[in-house]
Protein backbone atom coordinates (compact mmCIF):
# COMPACT_ATOMS: atom_id res chain seq x y z
CA UNK A 1 0.00 0.00 0.00
CA UNK A 2 1.33 3.40 -0.94
CA UNK A 3 0.23 6.53 0.84
CA UNK A 4 1.73 9.87 1.80
CA UNK A 5 0.12 12.13 4.39
CA UNK A 6 0.45 15.87 4.83
CA UNK A 7 -1.30 18.03 7.40
CA UNK A 8 -1.81 21.70 6.74
CA UNK A 9 -2.32 23.87 9.83
CA UNK A 10 -4.92 26.61 10.00
CA UNK A 11 -3.60 29.95 8.71
CA UNK A 12 -2.52 32.34 11.43
CA UNK A 13 -3.95 35.35 9.67
CA UNK A 14 -5.66 36.50 6.53
CA UNK A 15 -3.87 38.83 4.15
CA UNK A 16 -5.45 40.59 1.18
CA UNK A 17 -4.35 37.90 -1.26
CA UNK A 18 -5.94 35.15 0.85
CA UNK A 19 -9.08 37.24 1.16
CA UNK A 20 -9.33 37.64 -2.60
CA UNK A 21 -8.75 33.93 -3.07
CA UNK A 22 -11.58 33.13 -0.68
CA UNK A 23 -13.91 35.60 -2.33
CA UNK A 24 -13.47 33.93 -5.68
CA UNK A 25 -15.01 30.67 -4.50
CA UNK A 26 -17.41 31.70 -1.76
CA UNK A 27 -19.92 33.58 -3.85
CA UNK A 28 -19.07 37.09 -2.62
CA UNK A 29 -19.08 39.46 -5.57
CA UNK A 30 -16.75 42.45 -5.61
CA UNK A 31 -18.62 44.25 -8.32
CA UNK A 32 -22.00 44.39 -10.02
CA UNK A 33 -23.11 40.98 -11.25
CA UNK A 34 -20.19 39.22 -9.58
CA UNK A 35 -17.67 40.13 -12.31
CA UNK A 36 -14.77 39.14 -10.10
CA UNK A 37 -16.18 35.66 -9.73
CA UNK A 38 -16.66 35.23 -13.43
CA UNK A 39 -13.13 36.28 -14.26
CA UNK A 40 -11.20 34.74 -11.38
CA UNK A 41 -12.93 31.55 -10.31
CA UNK A 42 -12.32 29.70 -13.55
CA UNK A 43 -9.68 27.06 -14.02
CA UNK A 44 -8.84 24.97 -17.03
CA UNK A 45 -6.39 25.27 -19.90
CA UNK A 46 -6.15 24.78 -23.63
CA UNK A 47 -6.97 21.08 -23.26
CA UNK A 48 -10.48 21.71 -22.04
CA UNK A 49 -13.14 19.69 -23.83
CA UNK A 50 -15.67 22.50 -23.62
CA UNK A 51 -17.54 21.51 -20.45
CA UNK A 52 -14.99 22.60 -17.88
CA UNK A 53 -13.26 19.23 -17.57
CA UNK A 54 -9.96 18.08 -18.99
CA UNK A 55 -9.57 14.68 -20.64
CA UNK A 56 -8.74 12.32 -17.77
CA UNK A 57 -6.67 9.14 -18.05
CA UNK A 58 -8.64 5.92 -17.95
CA UNK A 59 -8.12 2.17 -17.84
CA UNK A 60 -9.95 -0.86 -19.11
CA UNK A 61 -13.55 -1.29 -17.97
CA UNK A 62 -14.18 -4.70 -16.44
CA UNK A 63 -16.32 -6.40 -13.82
CA UNK A 64 -13.62 -5.64 -11.25
CA UNK A 65 -13.06 -2.13 -12.59
CA UNK A 66 -16.52 -0.85 -13.62
CA UNK A 67 -15.43 2.78 -13.79
CA UNK A 68 -12.35 1.97 -15.86
CA UNK A 69 -9.92 3.73 -13.52
CA UNK A 70 -6.21 3.91 -14.38
CA UNK A 71 -4.45 1.55 -12.00
CA UNK A 72 -1.08 3.30 -11.88
CA UNK A 73 -1.92 6.99 -11.46
CA UNK A 74 -1.71 8.77 -8.08
CA UNK A 75 -4.83 9.98 -6.29
CA UNK A 76 -4.76 13.33 -4.48
CA UNK A 77 -7.18 13.59 -1.56
CA UNK A 78 -8.01 16.61 0.60
CA UNK A 79 -9.97 15.98 3.81
CA UNK A 80 -11.39 18.71 6.05
CA UNK A 81 -9.78 18.28 9.45
CA UNK A 82 -12.76 19.39 11.52
CA UNK A 83 -15.38 17.72 13.70
CA UNK A 84 -14.94 14.35 12.02
CA UNK A 85 -11.16 14.59 11.84
CA UNK A 86 -9.48 12.64 9.04
CA UNK A 87 -8.72 9.28 10.63
CA UNK A 88 -11.81 7.76 9.04
CA UNK A 89 -10.00 8.37 5.74
CA UNK A 90 -6.47 7.34 6.71
CA UNK A 91 -7.44 4.36 8.84
CA UNK A 92 -10.49 3.05 6.97
CA UNK A 93 -11.32 4.27 3.48
CA UNK A 94 -7.80 4.69 2.13
CA UNK A 95 -6.62 1.23 3.30
CA UNK A 96 -9.77 -0.29 1.77
CA UNK A 97 -9.04 1.47 -1.50
CA UNK A 98 -5.38 0.41 -1.54
CA UNK A 99 -6.24 -3.19 -0.71
CA UNK A 100 -7.93 -3.40 -4.10
CA UNK A 101 -5.67 -0.93 -5.92
CA UNK A 102 -2.19 -1.33 -4.35
CA UNK A 103 -0.35 0.45 -7.18
CA UNK A 104 -2.27 3.72 -6.77
CA UNK A 105 -0.41 6.12 -4.50
CA UNK A 106 -2.76 8.10 -2.29
CA UNK A 107 -1.47 11.58 -1.57
CA UNK A 108 -3.44 12.64 1.51
CA UNK A 109 -3.73 16.16 2.89
CA UNK A 110 -5.73 17.20 5.94
CA UNK A 111 -6.63 20.90 5.85
CA UNK A 112 -8.54 23.17 8.22
CA UNK A 113 -9.37 25.94 5.72
CA UNK A 114 -10.31 24.14 2.51
CA UNK A 115 -11.10 27.28 0.53
CA UNK A 116 -7.87 29.10 1.37
CA UNK A 117 -5.84 25.98 0.59
CA UNK A 118 -7.45 25.05 -2.70
CA UNK A 119 -8.70 28.23 -4.36
CA UNK A 120 -5.29 28.96 -5.98
CA UNK A 121 -5.22 25.43 -7.38
CA UNK A 122 -8.72 25.76 -8.82
CA UNK A 123 -7.73 29.05 -10.44
CA UNK A 124 -4.59 27.44 -11.88
CA UNK A 125 -6.57 24.50 -13.26
CA UNK A 126 -4.58 22.08 -11.09
CA UNK A 127 -6.94 21.04 -8.27
CA UNK A 128 -6.65 17.77 -6.33
CA UNK A 129 -8.76 14.80 -7.38
CA UNK A 130 -11.02 14.53 -4.35
CA UNK A 131 -12.11 17.22 -1.89
CA UNK A 132 -14.04 17.10 1.37
CA UNK A 133 -15.48 20.60 0.90
CA UNK A 134 -16.54 21.35 4.46
CA UNK A 135 -15.91 23.67 7.39
CA UNK A 136 -16.03 27.43 7.79
CA UNK A 137 -13.76 27.86 4.78
CA UNK A 138 -15.72 25.63 2.44
CA UNK A 139 -16.08 26.77 -1.16
CA UNK A 140 -19.53 27.83 -2.35
CA UNK A 141 -20.96 24.90 -4.28
CA UNK A 142 -23.38 26.88 -6.42
CA UNK A 143 -20.54 29.11 -7.59
CA UNK A 144 -18.35 26.13 -8.40
CA UNK A 145 -21.18 24.57 -10.40
CA UNK A 146 -22.00 27.79 -12.23
CA UNK A 147 -18.36 28.18 -13.26
CA UNK A 148 -18.09 24.60 -14.53
CA UNK A 149 -15.54 23.62 -11.91
CA UNK A 150 -17.13 20.38 -10.68
CA UNK A 151 -17.23 16.90 -12.20
CA UNK A 152 -20.54 15.24 -13.04
CA UNK A 153 -20.99 12.30 -10.63
CA UNK A 154 -23.58 10.48 -12.74
CA UNK A 155 -21.11 7.67 -13.66
CA UNK A 156 -20.55 7.01 -9.95
CA UNK A 157 -24.23 6.74 -9.12
CA UNK A 158 -24.89 4.54 -12.15
CA UNK A 159 -21.96 2.23 -11.37
CA UNK A 160 -22.38 -1.08 -9.50
CA UNK A 161 -22.14 -0.72 -5.76
CA UNK A 162 -19.01 -1.93 -4.02
CA UNK A 163 -20.90 -4.72 -2.25
CA UNK A 164 -23.29 -6.02 -4.90
CA UNK A 165 -22.72 -5.76 -8.67
CA UNK A 166 -26.46 -6.20 -9.22
CA UNK A 167 -27.27 -3.04 -7.19
CA UNK A 168 -26.17 0.37 -8.43
CA UNK A 169 -24.62 2.93 -6.14
CA UNK A 170 -27.74 5.03 -6.76
CA UNK A 171 -30.02 2.31 -5.39
CA UNK A 172 -27.83 1.72 -2.33
CA UNK A 173 -28.40 5.24 -0.96
CA UNK A 174 -31.04 6.69 1.34
CA UNK A 175 -33.81 8.77 -0.26
CA UNK A 176 -32.84 12.32 -1.09
CA UNK A 177 -29.08 11.75 -0.99
CA UNK A 178 -28.39 12.35 -4.66
CA UNK A 179 -30.95 15.15 -4.91
CA UNK A 180 -29.19 17.02 -2.09
CA UNK A 181 -26.12 17.41 -4.31
CA UNK A 182 -27.93 17.93 -7.62
CA UNK A 183 -28.00 21.23 -9.48
CA UNK A 184 -30.40 21.61 -12.40
CA UNK A 185 -30.63 17.90 -12.89
CA UNK A 186 -26.93 17.04 -12.64
CA UNK A 187 -25.35 15.54 -9.48
CA UNK A 188 -22.11 17.25 -8.54
CA UNK A 189 -21.81 16.56 -4.80
CA UNK A 190 -21.71 13.40 -2.71
CA UNK A 191 -23.22 14.21 0.67
CA UNK A 192 -22.07 11.41 2.93
CA UNK A 193 -23.14 11.98 6.52
CA UNK A 194 -26.88 11.74 7.13
CA UNK A 195 -28.65 14.11 9.48
CA UNK A 196 -32.05 13.46 11.03
CA UNK A 197 -34.02 16.52 12.12
CA UNK A 198 -36.70 16.64 14.76
CA UNK A 199 -37.52 17.74 18.29
CA UNK A 200 -34.98 16.69 20.87
CA UNK A 201 -36.29 16.34 24.39
CA UNK A 202 -35.06 15.76 27.91
CA UNK A 203 -36.05 12.12 28.40
CA UNK A 204 -35.14 12.27 32.07
CA UNK A 205 -37.53 15.14 32.86
CA UNK A 206 -40.30 13.59 30.79
CA UNK A 207 -40.01 10.25 32.60
CA UNK A 208 -39.65 11.72 36.08
CA UNK A 209 -42.78 13.85 35.67
CA UNK A 210 -44.85 11.37 33.72
CA UNK A 211 -45.20 13.73 30.77
CA UNK A 212 -46.21 11.88 27.59
CA UNK A 213 -44.35 12.42 24.34
CA UNK A 214 -46.82 14.49 22.27
CA UNK A 215 -47.92 13.22 18.89
CA UNK A 216 -50.24 16.11 17.90
CA UNK A 217 -49.87 19.84 18.32
CA UNK A 218 -52.76 19.94 20.77
CA UNK A 219 -50.96 17.33 22.87
CA UNK A 220 -47.83 19.47 22.64
CA UNK A 221 -49.70 22.48 23.99
CA UNK A 222 -51.17 20.39 26.81
CA UNK A 223 -47.74 19.03 27.78
CA UNK A 224 -46.22 22.51 27.59
CA UNK A 225 -48.85 23.77 30.02
CA UNK A 226 -47.95 21.00 32.48
CA UNK A 227 -44.23 21.67 32.10
CA UNK A 228 -44.60 25.43 32.56
CA UNK A 229 -46.60 24.86 35.75
CA UNK A 230 -43.49 23.32 37.33
CA UNK A 231 -41.32 26.37 36.55
CA UNK A 232 -39.37 24.61 33.81
CA UNK A 233 -39.36 26.14 30.34
CA UNK A 234 -41.06 23.90 27.78
CA UNK A 235 -38.92 25.03 24.79
CA UNK A 236 -35.66 26.57 23.74
CA UNK A 237 -34.54 27.51 20.25
CA UNK A 238 -31.19 28.75 18.94
CA UNK A 239 -31.71 32.34 20.01
CA UNK A 240 -30.47 35.36 18.14
CA UNK A 241 -27.92 33.23 16.31
CA UNK A 242 -30.28 30.93 14.41
CA UNK A 243 -34.04 31.33 14.89
CA UNK A 244 -34.29 29.56 11.51
CA UNK A 245 -34.00 26.27 13.43
CA UNK A 246 -37.69 26.79 14.22
CA UNK A 247 -38.44 26.84 10.48
CA UNK A 248 -37.60 23.15 10.47
CA UNK A 249 -40.53 21.94 12.64
CA UNK A 250 -42.70 24.61 11.01
CA UNK A 251 -42.14 23.29 7.48
CA UNK A 252 -42.09 19.65 8.59
CA UNK A 253 -45.49 19.93 10.27
CA UNK A 254 -46.91 21.78 7.26
CA UNK A 255 -45.60 19.06 4.94
CA UNK A 256 -47.13 16.31 7.06
CA UNK A 257 -50.43 18.17 6.99
CA UNK A 258 -50.66 18.78 3.24
CA UNK A 259 -48.09 16.50 1.61
CA UNK A 260 -44.55 16.91 0.24
CA UNK A 261 -45.72 18.66 -2.93
CA UNK A 262 -46.01 21.94 -0.98
CA UNK A 263 -42.21 22.07 -0.76
CA UNK A 264 -41.67 22.14 -4.53
CA UNK A 265 -42.98 25.72 -5.03
CA UNK A 266 -40.83 26.91 -2.12
CA UNK A 267 -37.67 25.56 -3.70
CA UNK A 268 -38.69 26.76 -7.17
CA UNK A 269 -39.30 30.30 -5.87
CA UNK A 270 -42.87 30.31 -7.11
CA UNK A 271 -44.94 33.37 -6.13
CA UNK A 272 -47.35 32.65 -3.29
CA UNK A 273 -45.58 29.47 -2.13
CA UNK A 274 -45.13 30.71 1.44
CA UNK A 275 -48.82 31.55 1.68
CA UNK A 276 -50.00 27.94 1.41
CA UNK A 277 -52.68 27.31 4.02
CA UNK A 278 -50.73 24.45 5.63
CA UNK A 279 -47.67 26.68 6.07
CA UNK A 280 -49.84 29.41 7.55
CA UNK A 281 -51.40 26.96 9.98
CA UNK A 282 -48.00 25.68 11.04
CA UNK A 283 -46.64 29.20 11.51
CA UNK A 284 -49.65 30.00 13.69
CA UNK A 285 -48.94 26.91 15.81
CA UNK A 286 -45.30 27.90 16.28
CA UNK A 287 -46.34 31.43 17.24
CA UNK A 288 -48.51 29.97 20.02
CA UNK A 289 -45.34 29.05 21.87
CA UNK A 290 -44.46 32.74 22.16
CA UNK A 291 -48.04 33.78 22.89
CA UNK A 292 -48.13 31.36 25.86
CA UNK A 293 -44.62 32.19 27.11
CA UNK A 294 -43.44 28.63 26.54
CA UNK A 295 -39.92 29.63 25.48
CA UNK A 296 -37.07 29.84 27.97
CA UNK A 297 -37.03 33.48 29.19
CA UNK A 298 -34.40 35.52 27.38
CA UNK A 299 -33.71 32.87 24.74
CA UNK A 300 -34.37 35.36 21.93
CA UNK A 301 -31.12 37.18 22.83
CA UNK A 302 -28.92 34.16 23.44
CA UNK A 303 -26.20 32.63 21.31
CA UNK A 304 -27.20 29.20 20.05
CA UNK A 305 -24.69 27.27 22.16
CA UNK A 306 -25.82 29.09 25.30
CA UNK A 307 -29.46 28.21 24.64
CA UNK A 308 -28.69 24.59 23.81
CA UNK A 309 -26.43 24.31 26.85
CA UNK A 310 -29.21 25.44 29.20
CA UNK A 311 -31.47 22.83 27.61
CA UNK A 312 -28.87 20.11 28.18
CA UNK A 313 -28.50 21.23 31.79
CA UNK A 314 -32.20 20.69 32.41
CA UNK A 315 -33.68 24.19 32.14
CA UNK A 316 -35.99 23.30 29.23
CA UNK A 317 -37.53 20.18 27.70
CA UNK A 318 -37.77 20.58 23.90
CA UNK A 319 -35.13 21.79 21.44
CA UNK A 320 -35.30 21.74 17.60
CA UNK A 321 -32.11 20.59 15.89
CA UNK A 322 -30.40 17.96 13.81
CA UNK A 323 -28.69 14.80 14.97
CA UNK A 324 -25.39 16.64 15.42
CA UNK A 325 -26.80 18.16 18.63
CA UNK A 326 -25.60 15.35 20.89
CA UNK A 327 -21.99 15.78 19.82
CA UNK A 328 -22.22 19.57 19.76
CA UNK A 329 -23.42 19.73 23.39
CA UNK A 330 -21.30 16.86 24.71
CA UNK A 331 -19.64 19.07 27.35
CA UNK A 332 -22.94 20.40 28.69
CA UNK A 333 -24.43 16.91 28.70
CA UNK A 334 -21.44 15.67 30.69
CA UNK A 335 -22.21 18.26 33.38
CA UNK A 336 -25.67 16.73 33.86
CA UNK A 337 -25.05 13.01 34.48
CA UNK A 338 -28.75 12.18 34.83
CA UNK A 339 -29.61 13.80 31.50
CA UNK A 340 -30.64 11.54 28.65
CA UNK A 341 -31.68 13.00 25.34
CA UNK A 342 -34.04 11.53 22.80
CA UNK A 343 -35.60 12.60 19.52
CA UNK A 344 -39.25 12.69 18.49
CA UNK A 345 -40.71 13.43 15.05
CA UNK A 346 -42.49 16.76 14.75
CA UNK A 347 -46.13 16.51 15.89
CA UNK A 348 -49.12 16.36 13.57
CA UNK A 349 -51.11 19.55 13.22
CA UNK A 350 -54.20 17.43 12.60
CA UNK A 351 -55.13 13.76 12.90
CA UNK A 352 -56.17 14.06 9.26
CA UNK A 353 -52.65 14.94 8.10
CA UNK A 354 -51.67 13.51 4.72
CA UNK A 355 -48.37 12.07 5.95
CA UNK A 356 -47.89 9.90 9.05
CA UNK A 357 -46.46 11.02 12.36
CA UNK A 358 -43.28 9.02 11.70
CA UNK A 359 -42.36 11.26 8.75
CA UNK A 360 -39.05 13.00 9.39
CA UNK A 361 -36.93 15.53 7.67
CA UNK A 362 -33.57 13.95 6.97
CA UNK A 363 -30.84 14.94 4.61
CA UNK A 364 -27.39 13.95 3.52
CA UNK A 365 -24.63 16.37 4.40
CA UNK A 366 -20.84 16.63 4.67
CA UNK A 367 -20.06 17.31 1.00
CA UNK A 368 -17.41 15.61 -1.13
CA UNK A 369 -16.62 16.82 -4.63
CA UNK A 370 -14.43 16.00 -7.61
CA UNK A 371 -13.06 19.04 -9.48
CA UNK A 372 -13.72 19.19 -13.22
CA UNK A 373 -9.98 19.64 -13.83
CA UNK A 374 -8.95 16.75 -11.56
CA UNK A 375 -6.09 14.70 -12.97
CA UNK A 376 -7.62 11.41 -11.85
CA UNK A 377 -11.40 11.84 -11.48
CA UNK A 378 -12.25 8.20 -12.17
CA UNK A 379 -10.10 7.03 -9.26
CA UNK A 380 -11.75 9.69 -7.11
CA UNK A 381 -15.15 8.23 -7.99
CA UNK A 382 -13.82 4.76 -7.17
CA UNK A 383 -12.76 6.14 -3.79
CA UNK A 384 -16.33 7.34 -3.32
CA UNK A 385 -17.52 3.80 -4.11
CA UNK A 386 -15.35 2.62 -1.23
CA UNK A 387 -16.88 5.20 1.10
CA UNK A 388 -20.37 4.07 0.06
CA UNK A 389 -19.73 0.40 0.79
CA UNK A 390 -21.34 -1.12 3.86
CA UNK A 391 -17.93 -1.62 5.46
CA UNK A 392 -16.88 1.94 4.68
CA UNK A 393 -20.13 3.45 5.94
CA UNK A 394 -20.34 1.36 9.10
CA UNK A 395 -16.75 2.10 9.96
CA UNK A 396 -17.40 5.80 9.52
CA UNK A 397 -20.40 5.64 11.88
CA UNK A 398 -18.41 3.77 14.50
CA UNK A 399 -15.54 6.25 14.36
CA UNK A 400 -17.36 9.60 14.25
CA UNK A 401 -20.80 8.83 15.73
CA UNK A 402 -22.74 9.84 12.65
CA UNK A 403 -25.18 8.07 10.39
CA UNK A 404 -24.33 7.89 6.69
CA UNK A 405 -26.33 8.13 3.48
CA UNK A 406 -25.88 4.40 2.76
CA UNK A 407 -29.12 2.47 3.24
CA UNK A 408 -28.84 -0.23 5.89
CA UNK A 409 -25.31 0.74 6.89
CA UNK A 410 -26.28 1.42 10.50
CA UNK A 411 -28.07 -1.91 10.89
CA UNK A 412 -26.25 -3.93 13.49
CA UNK A 413 -23.91 -1.09 14.41
CA UNK A 414 -23.64 -0.64 18.17
CA UNK A 415 -24.52 3.00 18.86
CA UNK A 416 -23.93 3.89 22.48
CA UNK A 417 -24.95 7.54 22.17
CA UNK A 418 -28.66 7.64 23.18
CA UNK A 419 -29.51 10.65 21.02
CA UNK A 420 -28.04 9.16 17.87
CA UNK A 421 -29.66 5.83 18.65
CA UNK A 422 -33.07 7.50 18.85
CA UNK A 423 -32.38 9.34 15.58
CA UNK A 424 -31.50 6.03 13.95
CA UNK A 425 -34.72 4.49 15.26
CA UNK A 426 -36.75 7.47 13.99
CA UNK A 427 -35.21 7.17 10.52
CA UNK A 428 -35.97 3.46 10.40
CA UNK A 429 -39.56 4.09 11.53
CA UNK A 430 -39.99 6.73 8.82
CA UNK A 431 -39.20 4.30 6.02
CA UNK A 432 -39.88 6.11 2.75
CA UNK A 433 -41.57 9.02 4.54
CA UNK A 434 -38.47 11.20 4.48
CA UNK A 435 -38.79 14.83 3.42
CA UNK A 436 -36.43 17.69 2.73
CA UNK A 437 -36.29 21.10 1.07
CA UNK A 438 -33.42 22.56 -0.87
CA UNK A 439 -33.66 26.35 -0.95
CA UNK A 440 -31.19 26.83 1.97
CA UNK A 441 -28.57 24.92 0.00
CA UNK A 442 -29.38 26.56 -3.34
CA UNK A 443 -29.83 30.11 -2.03
CA UNK A 444 -28.02 30.51 1.31
CA UNK A 445 -28.88 34.20 1.75
CA UNK A 446 -32.57 33.42 1.38
CA UNK A 447 -32.33 31.31 4.54
CA UNK A 448 -29.78 33.41 6.39
CA UNK A 449 -30.15 36.29 7.01
CA UNK A 450 -33.44 36.40 5.05
CA UNK A 451 -36.11 34.12 6.49
CA UNK A 452 -33.96 33.59 9.60
CA UNK A 453 -34.65 37.10 10.86
CA UNK A 454 -38.29 37.05 9.85
CA UNK A 455 -38.91 33.87 11.82
CA UNK A 456 -37.08 35.44 14.76
CA UNK A 457 -39.71 38.19 14.78
CA UNK A 458 -42.48 35.59 14.62
CA UNK A 459 -40.98 33.77 17.63
CA UNK A 460 -41.04 37.03 19.58
CA UNK A 461 -44.69 37.52 18.50
CA UNK A 462 -43.69 40.87 17.03
CA UNK A 463 -45.35 40.09 13.69
CA UNK A 464 -48.49 38.25 12.71
CA UNK A 465 -48.61 35.13 10.57
CA UNK A 466 -49.81 37.23 7.63
CA UNK A 467 -46.85 39.56 8.04
CA UNK A 468 -44.48 36.59 8.31
CA UNK A 469 -45.84 35.19 5.03
CA UNK A 470 -45.62 38.58 3.33
CA UNK A 471 -42.01 39.08 4.39
CA UNK A 472 -40.97 35.52 3.43
CA UNK A 473 -42.54 36.10 0.02
CA UNK A 474 -40.54 39.31 -0.31
CA UNK A 475 -37.27 37.49 0.38
CA UNK A 476 -38.14 34.83 -2.20
CA UNK A 477 -39.00 37.56 -4.72
CA UNK A 478 -35.63 39.22 -4.20
CA UNK A 479 -33.84 35.96 -4.98
CA UNK A 480 -36.13 35.20 -7.93
CA UNK A 481 -35.58 38.63 -9.50
CA UNK A 482 -31.80 38.67 -9.05
CA UNK A 483 -30.41 37.68 -12.46
CA UNK A 484 -26.91 37.24 -11.00
CA UNK A 485 -28.11 34.21 -8.99
CA UNK A 486 -28.20 30.94 -10.91
CA UNK A 487 -31.63 29.37 -10.38
CA UNK A 488 -32.28 25.70 -9.62
CA UNK A 489 -35.47 23.70 -10.09
CA UNK A 490 -36.91 20.50 -8.72
CA UNK A 491 -39.69 18.39 -10.17
CA UNK A 492 -40.96 16.70 -7.03
**Tens of pLDDT, residues 93-103:** 999 999 999 99
Confidence bin at 231 (pLDDT 50/70/90): very high
Mean pLDDT of 299-323: 96
pTM value? 0.79
Cα–Cα distance for residue pair 196/213, rounded to 1 Å = 18
Domains of the chain: 3-195+365-427 (3.40.190.10), 196-361+436-481 (3.40.190.10)
- 55: pLDDT strictly greater than 70: no
pLDDT, tens only, 349-388: 999 999 999 999 999 989 999 999 999 999 999 999 999 9
Confidence bin at 198 (pLDDT 50/70/90): very high
pLDDT, tens only, 436-459: 999 998 898 899 999 999 999 999
Confidence bin at 491 (pLDDT 50/70/90): confident
Mean pLDDT of 468-474: 98
Q: 452-459 and 465-481 are packed helices; what angle lies between their axes, rounded to 10 degrees? A: 180
Task: Report the pLDDT value the prediction gives residue 217, as an integer from 0 to 100.
Answer: 98
Task: Report the pLDDT value the prediction gives residue 292, as an integer from 0 to 100.
Answer: 98
- 238: pLDDT strictly greater than 80: yes
Confidence bin at 224 (pLDDT 50/70/90): very high
- 197: pLDDT strictly greater than 80: yes
pLDDT, tens only, 342-358: 999 999 999 999 999 99
Half-sphere exposure of 246 (CA within 13 A, CB side): 33
Mean pLDDT of 129-154: 92
Of 222 and 21, the one with more pLDDT: 222
Q: What whole-number percentage of the chain has pLDDT above 70?
A: 89
Angle at 251 between CA 276 and CA 83, to 5 degrees: 155
Cα–Cα distance for residue pair 438/441, rounded to 1 Å = 5
Confidence bin at 204 (pLDDT 50/70/90): very high
pLDDT, tens only, 29-43: 322 223 222 223 333
With CA atoms as reference, report the closest residue to 492 among 444, 438, 441, 442.
438
Amino acid sequence: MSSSIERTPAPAGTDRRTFLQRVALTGVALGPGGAFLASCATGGDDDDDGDGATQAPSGDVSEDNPLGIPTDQPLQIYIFDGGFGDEYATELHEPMFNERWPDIEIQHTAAVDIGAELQPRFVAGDPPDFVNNSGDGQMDTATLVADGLLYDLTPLFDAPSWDDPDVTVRDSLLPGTIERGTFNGTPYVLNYAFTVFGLWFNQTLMDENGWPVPTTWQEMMDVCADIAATGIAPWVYQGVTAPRYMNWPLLSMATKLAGPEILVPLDNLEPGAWGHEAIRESAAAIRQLAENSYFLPGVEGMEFRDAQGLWARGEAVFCPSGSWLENEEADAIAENPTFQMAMMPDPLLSPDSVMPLETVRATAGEPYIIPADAANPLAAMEYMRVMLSLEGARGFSERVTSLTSVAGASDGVQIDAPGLASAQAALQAAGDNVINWFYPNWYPTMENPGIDQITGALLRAEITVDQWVEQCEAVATTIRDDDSIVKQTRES
